[in-house]
Amino acid sequence: MESKTLTGAEKKELRGIAQRLKPHLHIGKNGLGDAVLAEIETALTKTGLIKIRFDAPREAIKLLCTEIPDRTASEFVGSVGRVGIFFRDMPESN
């Protein structure tokens, strides 16, 4: 799977689109378990752009925002407060 880094303009556009989205899931103090990663994978495959609300300290949120893209082949687009925005190209339909 090709991994293309988004430009600043593309990230800005995605953040604008994400403003209208509700957080797809909440990640609490337990962090990234297998079930949470599976749910993130499903959401990214289905919609490509998701928001995740974090109920964790600020430093933990920063770590999660770098760990999620590494483990899901997605890209961190940005964050507002305790909400992170993640994007992955949708698989092409054959």
Higher pLDDT, 69 or 30: 69
This prediction's pTM: 0.89
Phi first, then psi: give them for residue 50, nearest 5 degrees. Answer: -135, 160
Block residue for tokens 């483990």: 71
pLDDT computed for residue 29 by the predictor:
78
Joined tokens for residue 39? 């749910």
Q: Which of 27-36, 38-47, 57-66 has the lowest mean pLDDT?
A: 27-36
Domains of the chain by start residue, with CATH: 21-87 (3.30.110.60)
User: CA 38 from chain center: how many Å?
Assistant: 13
pLDDT computed for residue 31 by the predictor:
85
